[in-house]
Every structure is written in C-alpha cells, then in structure tokens.
Structure 1
Amino acid sequence: MRIALNARILQAPRTGIGQYVAELACALSREPDIELSLFHGWGWSEALPPAAMPGYSRLSPLLRQIPGAYQARRWIEQKRFDQRGARSVDLYHEPSLWPLAFDGPTVITLHDLTHLHYPETQPPARLREIERRVAHGVEQAQLILTDSQFIANEARVYFGLPAERFVVAPLGVAARFHPRSAQDIDGVLKAHAVEAGEYFLCVGTLEPRKNLSLALQAHAQLPESLRQRYPLLIVGMAGWQREQLSDELSIALASGHVCLLGYLPDEQLAQLLSGARALIFPSLYEGFGLPVLEAMASGVPVITSRRSAMPEVAGEAGNYIEPWDVDGLREAMLRLIDDSRHWQACREAGLLQAGMFSWERCARETASAYRKVVGG
C-alpha cells in the first residue's frame, strides 16, 4: 500500500502530535506492505526531517501579520499535495485535525476534543479554523484513529457516529525512555544543579489546560527544607495564554525552588525525566498524556489527574489527584518523598504498565486500519 502521511507538523518543534508523527512514521516503515511518503507542506520526502528547535516557523513573523496568510499557505500546500497525492498513493493519512482535500480513501487521527471543552486554551484564529474544519475532516475520513478509548467514546457521541468508524491505536514510548543510573545522567544533572531522585518534574506546554498552577501551589506548600532539597523543574515551551501564569510563576521562580527550563532536546529530556523523584502531570484534559507513559517507562512514579484519558494510560500505577486539589497533590508528593516502599512499588507498577504500550503496536493497529479502508 502506498500511504501519504501529512508530516508538515514536523517542521515545528516536536511536542505531542509531532512526536506521534515521527515515531509512527518510523514504526510504519517496518510494516512489510506499507510504502510511506511524507508530505511536508511544500513537497514530498521519504525520510523524516531533523527536529526543529523553538522559534522555527514556515511563516515568518512579517508574513503572519498579513491578512489571509494562513489561507494562502493552505492553498499552496493543497496545490503541492495535488501534484503528487491523488496520482500516486492508495490512502491519505492526516494525523491532525483537518485533512487536505483528497479524492481517495482518507484516515485521520483525532487526538482529542480540547477545542470543545477548553476553547479558551486556543488562540481565537486557530479556534475558528478548528471549528470550521474538524467536522469536515471527520466526515471526509473513512476511519478515525484515536489515541485512547476515552476519546473514541467521546467523539462517537459528539459526532453521532457508529463505533465501527473508530479505531483505537494507543501511542507508544520511544526507546530513549528507560531507567538510567545516576552515573549515566551525571552531565544533565550537573547542568541543572540537581541530584538523582531529588527533584520533581513537570513536562508540557505552558498553557492553562496543563494546570501548572496546581503544581506550583502544591510545591510551595511543602516544608522549606523539602522545597530546597526537592526543587520543581518545569520543561516546556511557552503556549497560548501563558501570561495567566506569569505572576504565579514569577513568584515561584523567585523563591529559588522552581526552575523553568524551557524546551529541551529529546535526549536531554529523557535523561532528566529518568532522574526525577516523580513526574507531576495534573492536566485538566488529555487525549492520551504521553509524558505519563514516558515517565513510567523511565522508572519514575507519576502523579496525575483522574480525568479524561490519564487513568487509561497510567492504570494502577498512577498516583491520582483531582485537578483542583492542592492538598491532595502536596500529600502525594510527600508520600513519594517519605515512603520508599511506596515509591518503589509505583516504580515497578509503572514499568509493567508502560510495557503494554509500544510504537510497534500503534503502527500495527494503524496499518490494519489502512488495510481495512483500502480493502473495503
């Protein structure tokens, strides 16, 4: 089967969907009957592009100020896609919210319905595009892939579609996420002035949906001696409406017990994650929650919200809190500091849970969806 995969998102720094596209493309290349062509917005390639760093954009800052620039870029991309797409592929896979026009079979991946539950977490222009295009994309697709059963159920009800239109293909975990000794990560620990097992970590774009304020409040309530010994490190790019966190984050940073590290390259993040006491992931809503899986695969306990798809990912290994419960998060952090047996049990349970997920499994489920559509 000749598959066109829209990989334009790989031109930007690889956060959730970008990691999905990169890892899925690699795993699909090992499926014997899949011939993958990657569309990167301006042309085609057979290989993944190098990962971009923050600040990269196909649209220059000047061009983004021009009315209709987004629509013009979309028109150009459609023309570029048409030059090869319809004539040379059997199926088009759109891994984001809105597919390009294509006369042949189409599969889309619907990662979540954030725009419905938390429209305030999207820039207005982007929200308008999502609302305008997502329903059309769902209608265009013969099958809809989701990362979790939670999203499949939610989307089925919202769009009024039968269950057979959905295929759940859970995400996987990259090989770089695995347990490491303190000696193995000595360089990155020294770079950030921390000790193995003696810091908490938050990973995710800085935006209201990630609920970072809960982590800041709970960490601030730890005794002074523990805040000094177990600082809170935050990894992630600035997102939409980060200014809502500005005052709270400024106070936390000024305390000296919270460090904002920004976006880190993949290997640095994997090393830093493997040395954490725990990952704190109190998100309000997730279609999967990839950092939860990556932490467990690294042998690191997870504190996460009992909301949306997070329990589906963390299973019995998660330390669950409600996303507004500062006291609950503080107590979960204290227990992982004070109770070494509990910490070890969470570590072992997390490794077992993470073993249930792989990009190979995700690729198998995805390839099976392709075959079903093309064969049908």
Structure 2
Amino acid sequence: MKLTIALNSKILLAPRTGIGNYVVELAQALQQDPGLGMHFFYGSRWRDALADAPMPGYSRWAGVAKRLPAAYALRRIFEQQNFNRGARELRPDVYHEPSLWPLDFAGPTVMTVHDLTHIHYPQTQPKDRLREIERRLPSALTRVSRILVDSEFIGHEIRQHFGLPDQKVVVAPLACSAVFQPRLEQQLAVRLKKLGLSYRGFILSVGTLEPRKNLSLTLRAHARLPPLLRSRFPLLVVGMPGWQAGELSGELSRAISSGHVRLAGYLDQADLACVTAAARMMVFPSLYEGFGLPVLEAMASGTPVIASDSASLPEVAAAAAAYVDPQDEAGLTEQMRRLMEDDRAWMAHRIAGLERSVQFSWKKCAAITAEVYRQAVNC
C-alpha cells in the first residue's frame, strides 16, 4: 500500500541551518521510495514540491513577528487552520512534524526531536517560544505515534525525562549533503580568494552564534596560541546570530580587532562546503548537541575535527575526532597546536574521519523513517 505523507516544511522558508537541512535531505531521500507520496506544508500553503530557496526577507519578517504580543500562539492558530484545510483535501496517511510543535491531526503523527535544548539551556530560547514548548511538548510526545531522534544519546534523554516506552522512540541518525566532500586546492581557489583565505591555512568554527555553541572557549583557546601560529592559522567563524548573541558580541569584536579572527556570518551550503573542505581543522566544543551535523560535514570533507567530549558528539565522531572537555581552554589550545604542527596526527584524523563519515547516509535515515511511518499507521 502506498502511503501519503504530510511533511511540515515551513522551516525551508528561512535560511538553511540544521533542521532545514534535515528536512531537505530527508525529503529528497524519501521521494525515492516508490511506496511513499509526499505533500509539503509551508505554513500558509501546501505544495507537492520542496521549496528550492528561502523566502526573501524571511529573517527580517520573522524578527518583526516575534515582537508582536502572543506571536507564537497567533501564528499557531493561523497555521493550524491552513493545515486543516489541506489535510481535508489531500487526506494524508501520516503527518510528520520535524521539530517540537506538531499540529493537531486526526491520523497517525510522527515527530522528530533533535535535542532537548529548551530543558538544558532554557536561556537560549525566547521567552514566548519557551512557554509554548513547555506547554505543548509533553502532551505532543504522549499523543504522537512514534518519535524519531537523531542519536542514541537523545533517545535515552527523551525516554528518561518524559518516561516514554522504548518502542515509541526510534533512532534515525542524520547524514550530510553530498556537497561535503574532499576538494583539491585548485577547485577552491576562486571562493577562497573571495573570502581572503588560504587552503589549509585557517581554523573553522561553525554554528549559530549563541552561548550553547561555546564559541567563547574557541576564541580564548585560539588567543592562547603563539602569535606566529595565530597569524598563520586565523580563526574563521561561520554562523548567524542566535538567541543572546549579544553576550558574545564584545568578546567577538575584540577577537576580530586582533586581526586573527574573521567573521563570515551565514554562508550558503555551497560556500560552507568549500570552506569546510579547505580548513586545516574544525573546532566544535559545543556544550550540548543532539547530533552535531557540522562535525559529520567536516569529516566527510576530509577535515580533522576537535570536538567536545559531551552529549552526542562522541557517538557521531567515534574515534575519528580529537576530544576536549568543553571547559578546558588550555586543552583546546593544545589540541589546535597539535593539529597545526603534527602532520602525521593531522592525516590520521583526516583518514579516520573520512572512514567514519561513510557510515552515515540519508538513504539509511530515510529507510528508517519510512519504516516508522508504516509502524505509525499499523500501531
């Protein structure tokens, strides 16, 4: 029997980051399954095709909308009405919500929980959004048929915190886009020149600019390096401002003024794939991750990774990454220096990362997800 799936894809109207990339890659893989038919919901309308670009001006519009009284609750009402109209017409067999706020649906619902950031780091969430999550999430987890998670780490957390039965929570590990792959220097010359970078001549930090990503530790650890190494390997910071990014602004501004740190802001996937493949290493000492997709992207690009030894990151990178305590400034400096100066260690991490990365694929993630849809219909 062919199943029709309603996938909430409104995240694709915003510039692509973690969950947006998840929706695109998963949907493209699911569309290869002849047993599935896909319908995509975009908040105000339904389509049978994936959005190929963010909505122009979305970030500015969203910023204004969030300042309106009860913005999240009002938007929820509007989206629910539009969802109901489309669901009545299309009659999907399963509704899949890829984040924390499933809409009401009369049939089987599958949701994806990427992390529990709102519990561990509530200060990283706008207050209105946090209130809505706390109000809606527990009941949503109870009523949905199945819950997909990105890692065993998150699966354990969600079962323990909410008392969910084991069979209701299914791990479907993420993968990364095929654009993340090793590149030769000549393939990257034009983009690197545009960004003022040299091949294997910089350290990369990727992530939304918010306290949870622990950029402050990266900045301090980089500043501890000898001046010659800081000059030879500047730090490139890639990411959009996040909640409470202002806490980082002074420290980041001072680091940039030193001449050894550069802020690239948001990069589209093509540019991000290029800088990831060109970096000497990626530094990712995040305090908390449900998966840590940038780590996998770096490994698939042949770029060694230094990651924190917390949350899901050791599960994803296994023995391929170099690990540090996310509070250990001196330890991070030492690991950076080791991968700058020890070419043999650098190559060992590069090879191990490439070998580890091929164990993840969107085809596998989609196969697990499709099976969960079938379980949801039959349970």
Fold shared, TM-score > 0.5 on shorter chain = yes
Deviation of the 1:375 alpha carbon: 2.6
Give yes or no for contact 2:73–2:132 (8 Å, CA) kept in 1: no
1:76 and 1:251 map into 2 onto residues whose CA distance is 43
Deviation of the 1:80 alpha carbon: 0.8
CA-atom RMSD, angstroms? 1.4
Give yes or no for contact 2:13–2:55 (8 Å, CA) kept in 1: no
For residues 18-167 of structure 1, what are the structure 2 equivalents within 5 Å? 18-52=20-54, 55-57=57-59, 59=61, 62-86=64-88, 88-167=91-170
* 1:315 equivalenced with 2:318 (yes/no): yes
Number of the residue aligned with 1:337: 340
Alignment counterpart, residue 195 of structure 1, candidates 183, 190, 198: 198
Alignment counterpart, residue 18 of structure 2, candidates 12, 16, 19: 16
SS in 2 for 1:324: coil
Give yes or no for contact 2:217–2:329 (8 Å, CA) kept in 1: yes
From the superposition, tell whether residues 63 and 97 of structure 1 become closer, same or farther in structure 2 (CA, over 3 Å). Answer: closer
Number of the residue aligned with 1:168: 171
Which blocks of at least 5 consecutive residues in structure 2 are unaligned?
A: none
1:119 and 1:254 map into 2 onto residues whose CA distance is 31
**TM-score, L = length of structure 1:** 0.97
Number of the residue aligned with 2:7: 5
SS in 1 for 2:58: coil
Deviation of the 1:296 alpha carbon: 0.1
Give yes or no for contact 1:219–1:330 (8 Å, CA) kept in 2: yes
1:325 and 1:118 map into 2 onto residues whose CA distance is 20
Deviation of the 1:183 alpha carbon: 0.4
* 1:367 equivalenced with 2:370 (yes/no): yes
The code of the aligned residue for 1:2 comes to T
Number of the residue aligned with 2:231: 228
Alignment counterpart, residue 258 of structure 2, candidates 252, 255, 267: 255
From the superposition, tell whether residues 96 and 356 of structure 1 become closer, same or farther in structure 2 (CA, over 3 Å). Answer: same
Number of residue pairs matched?
376
Give yes or no for contact 1:278–1:302 (8 Å, CA) kept in 2: yes
Which blocks of at least 5 consecutive residues in structure 1 are unaligned?
A: none
The code of the aligned residue for 1:264 comes to L
1:61 and 1:12 map into 2 onto residues whose CA distance is 12
SS in 2 for 1:5: strand
Give yes or no for contact 1:296–1:347 (8 Å, CA) kept in 2: yes
The one-character-per-residue Cα deviations of 1:196-236 (angstroms, maximum 9, x if unpaired) are 11100000100000000010001001110111110000000
Deviation of the 1:297 alpha carbon: 0.1
2:183 and 2:141 map into 1 onto residues whose CA distance is 42
* 1:212 equivalenced with 2:225 (yes/no): no
Deviation of the 1:64 alpha carbon: 4.1
Aligned-pair identity (%): 54
Give yes or no for contact 1:11–1:57 (8 Å, CA) kept in 2: no
From the superposition, tell whether residues 225 and 57 of structure 1 become closer, same or farther in structure 2 (CA, over 3 Å). Answer: closer
1:7 and 1:298 map into 2 onto residues whose CA distance is 27
Deviation of the 1:66 alpha carbon: 3.1
